[in-house]
Amino acid sequence: EDQVTQSPEALRLQEGESSSLNCSYTVSGLRGLFWYRQDPGKGPEFLFTLYSAGEEKEKERLKATLTKKESFLHITAPKPEDSATYLCAVQFWGGGTSYGKLTFGQGTILTVHP
């Protein structure tokens, strides 16, 4: 069964303290790996898509990387406004008609203290 696991479940950082979030997956053929940010009471907001091992994407203080079995979301010098739940999702080949289906991890709750 295809699975997506995120760690840690929760992360508390001081402002400026860099860290990484992990997303590991067991799928038979990755089409794409997506990172979303979700604020309380809102829907997920798209951040990045990664397609192949070795690929990296950056946006402000965030950098996403991908290997064959996991992805990391690196947060450099975070600010309190980076506090949110970060969701990882995977699309895989061989899903039949489910070619658009995203399989999500449970998310990492990030809190950045001033």
Partner 1 sequence: EAGVAQSPRYKIIEKRQSVAFWCNPISGHATLYWYQQILGQGPKLLIQFQNNGVVDDSQLPKDRFSAERLKGVDSTLKIQPAKLEDSAVYLCASSPKRESTDTQYFGPGTRLTVL
- 52: its two tokens: 């192949």
Least distance in Å: CB of 76 to partner 1?
24
Question: Any idea how long the chain is?
Answer: 114
DSSP letter assigned to residue 82 = G
If one asks whether residue 23 binds partner 1 (CB under 8 A), the answer comes out as no
In angstroms, the CA 68 to CA 52 distance is 8
For residue 80, the SS3 value is helix
If one asks whether residue 51 binds partner 1 (CB under 8 A), the answer comes out as yes
Least distance in Å: CB of 66 to partner 1?
14
Contact between 67 and 76 under an 8 Å Cβ cutoff? The reply is no
- Residue number with CB closer to partner 1 (78 or 107): 107
Given candidates 21, 64, 65, 107, which one binds partner 1 under the rule CB under 8 A? 107
**Residues that bind partner 1 in the complex, under the rule CB under 8 A:** 4, 31-32, 34, 36, 41-46, 49, 51, 87, 89, 91, 95, 97-102, 104-107
